[in-house]
Amino acid sequence: MPVRGTLTLLLGILCLGHLPGLAASQTLPAGEEALGSKSYDDYETPARCRSCHTDLFRQWEQSMMAQAYTHHWDEIEYFQLAVPHAQRDPQLAEVEAGCNGCHAPLAYWAGDVPPPRPEEGSRANESVSCDVCHTLIGYRGEVPHNYNHISRPGRVKVGPKPGKSSPHHDTEFNRFMLQTELCGTCHNEKSPFDVWVKSTQLEWQEGPYSREGVRCHDCHAPRAWARSASMAEPDSVGQHLFHGAHSISKLSGAVELRMHPDVREVEFDGTVVFSVQLFNAKAGHKIPTGSVEDRLVWLEVTAIDAAGQSYVLPVDEKGFSGEAYTISSDVLAYQDLGVPLDRPDFPGVQRDGIGAGHRIFRMPYFDPQGRMTIMQWNTASLGVDYRLGPRETRIETFTWVLPPEIALGRVTVEARLNYQKLMTPVAELLEVPEEESEVVMINRTRTSIEVYD
Ligand code: HEC
Ligand code: HEC
Ligand code: HEC
Ligand code: HEC
Ligand code: HEC
């Protein structure tokens, strides 16, 4: 049965190769031109869709896109950092409205910026809602980014399949719904300094999954045999999970780890080299992706000797340029937070807050003064990209000169890959709810050596 759904879909794509909305799309605004071009009333609420599309609604409601405006960290970053920063620095003026182009599209299209705070319960709270995506008919420009999509609100809902009918609305098949460019209009972002500060769809494009036709949808909205509406016949329906880094099950096992020592048996005053292989097996883009400025993904290797004493093994340096940003340390960073926080002599906070010597898979963002920043809109340049590419395998080594106090017998060595959405020092400074800085283990592996006299 699922085969039939796929065949209908394929036929649909073959017959309707061009965007049906092309003519209309030429007159409708995209990107910045769309600011204030519509009103809230042009769009239906997600609650309206819920009555028939119950399961899809309940799935979407739990996703971050349903909370893109109301989620507490978003509120803090927008109202405490971005808005005051935009008001103080003319070069950043555009972001006061711009954040909403992706996080509160209805408010952006209605020209209601800055929108009322989430607690006021305005329609900005609908965030990336059903009617946001299901009225998008294409995008304008060469590369999808910075909300350069085209919205055509109204009775017609665009969907992934031809020939669907509904008692509440008209439906129209649009190939755009099946393309990663749809996601790219919000998941690729350029800063006011013309720097790519989000490039999830571009990373996907240059990686192996695009060549195989495995799209964002296949991993984040996988199809299952189900009813898309309460009165519909079962079909192969994209589940609106949109699970990402906020979902432990999505992060779990995204990278596989193995580790081996160069020697199994070592004299008590000897040296062992552990090699760890990290394989990005599950993500269609780099890890981390998206809000890379906030993310910490780090490899921690610890050893426990026969007496139960534990040791942290520092990673070996490789000697590439910019490497210092990829090894955790106690340096201070993020001094540019002082501008929006109105603390002119702000010394910064700890850059990583995870202890020293661990390998961090990251790409640092720099402000116009060359200091590391977590404010992606204040990013004037990028540092070394040491993230794990899709299906890439990386090797890290740990040379361990056995400490004099080591106990004889078996030493168990564990490698853990950890993930943190927001580094603790920044989360504490801005009083971001703890769940944003919770440490999640992506994976772990073990090996052992024998120490003899
Ligand atoms: C981020 C954009 C986005 C949001 C938000 C979104 N959808 Fe979708 N929706 C899609 C995409 C993309 C597909 C096509 C998935 C596929 O077929 O691969 C889709 C498919 C559908 C379908 C067709 C299912 C089928 O295959 O028969 C329905 C119905 C639907 N969505 C309803 C909703 C409702 C209701 C909401 C809100 C509760 C919603 N969508 C929110 C992007 C979105
Ligand atoms: C009164 C019930 C009802 C309401 C309310 C409703 N829909 Fe639907 N919708 C349907 C039915 C029925 C279908 C066809 C499903 C099928 O046959 O698989 C459908 C299909 C769709 C499709 C798929 C079209 C395609 O080409 O594959 C989309 C997208 C969609 N609805 C979006 C929405 C959105 C967005 C809302 C809220 C603004 C909404 N619907 C409200 C009943 C409803
Ligand atoms: C082969 C499966 C796969 C494909 C294809 C894929 N992803 Fe992912 N995605 C994942 C996995 C696994 C994670 C969790 C690991 C992580 O956060 O990096 C993830 C994480 C994410 C995150 C969360 C990142 C963060 O740090 O918050 C976003 C956003 C995302 N994906 C968007 C996309 C978009 C947009 C596309 C298409 C351009 C896409 N993904 C394609 C598997 C996939
Ligand atoms: C209108 C803009 C927009 C479109 C279109 C859009 N997204 Fe998003 N998406 C967002 C925003 C904004 C967030 C961040 C929500 C937050 O945490 O504040 C997000 C978050 C996500 C996350 C959750 C990441 C996490 O950290 O857990 C996933 C997964 C995701 N999107 C996938 C997709 C996919 C797949 C598509 C295309 C089918 C898509 N998005 C289309 C704006 C969009
Ligand atoms: C081009 C679209 C776009 C623009 C413009 C944009 N964002 Fe986002 N934002 C996203 C997407 C997509 C994500 C999800 C990426 C991920 O999961 O890593 C996101 C994630 C976030 C997050 C959540 C990070 C987390 O840990 O989950 C915050 C906070 C945020 N954005 C704030 C802002 C602020 C403030 C602005 C304006 C200065 C802004 N964004 C502008 C698309 C955008």
Question: How many structural domains does the chain have?
Answer: 2
Q: Is 95 in the pocket of ligand 5 (CB under 6 A)?
A: yes
Question: Cβ of 395: how many Cβ atoms within 10 Å?
Answer: 9
Token readout for 297 is 């993904």
Query: Residue 390 phi/psi, 5° resolution?
Result: -60, 130
Q: What is the CATH number of the domain that holds 277?
A: 2.60.40.3880
Residues recorded for the chain: 453
Domain end: 208, 238, 268, which one? 238
Please name which of 84, 73, 75 lies closest in space to residue 428, comparing C-alpha atoms: 73
Helices (H), 16-71: 22-25, 46-50, 54-61
- Give the pLDDT confidence score for residue 14 in this predicted structure: 40
**Residues 168, 263 within the same domain:** no
Query: Residue 354 phi/psi, 5° resolution?
Result: -125, 20
**Does some domain include residue 386?**
yes
Domain end: 188, 205, 238, which one? 238
- Give the pLDDT confidence score for residue 27 in this predicted structure: 87
**Residues 432, 341 within the same domain:** yes
- Give the pLDDT confidence score for residue 11 in this predicted structure: 41
User: What parts of the chain have a pLDDT lower than 70?
Assistant: 1-26
Q: Is 96 in the pocket of ligand 2 (CB under 6 A)?
A: no
Host domain of residue 435: 248-452
| pTM, entire model | 0.95
- Give the pLDDT confidence score for residue 277 in this predicted structure: 98
| Residue nearest atom 28 in ligand 1 by C-alpha distance | 228
Q: Is 134 in the pocket of ligand 4 (CB under 6 A)?
A: no
**Does some domain include residue 190?**
yes
E strands along 317-356, which residues?
332-333, 349-350
pLDDT tens, 39-52?
999 999 999 999 99
Domain end: 210, 238, 266, which one? 238
CA of 30 to the centre of ligand 1 (A): 21
Angstrom distance (rounded) from CA 407 to CA 94: 61
Q: Is 232 in the pocket of ligand 2 (CB under 6 A)?
A: yes
**Residues 310, 222 within the same domain:** no
Residues with Cβ < 8 Å from 7, sequence gap 6 or more? none
CA of 284 to the centre of ligand 3 (A): 6
- Give the pLDDT confidence score for residue 8 in this predicted structure: 43
- Give the pLDDT confidence score for residue 24 in this predicted structure: 55
> In this structure, what is the dihedral angle of CA atoms 321, 325, 329, 334, given to the nearest 10 degrees?
140
**Residues 424, 375 within the same domain:** yes
Among 200, 291, 422, say which to mutate for ligand 3: greatest number of ligand atoms within 8 Å of CB. Answer: 200
Residues with Cβ < 8 Å from 396, sequence gap 6 or more? 275, 276, 278, 299, 315, 316, 359
State the Rg of the chain over Cα. 25
Angstrom distance (rounded) from CA 151 to CA 25: 8
pLDDT tens, 423-443?
999 999 999 999 999 999 999
Angstrom distance (rounded) from CA 327 to CA 318: 11
Question: Cβ of 217: how many Cβ atoms within 10 Å?
Answer: 19
Question: Who lines ligand 3 at CB under 6 A?
Answer: 180, 183, 187, 200-201, 204, 209, 214, 216, 218-220, 244-245, 250-251, 254, 282-285, 287-291, 295
Q: Which atom of ligand 5 is nearest to the CA of 376?
A: 38
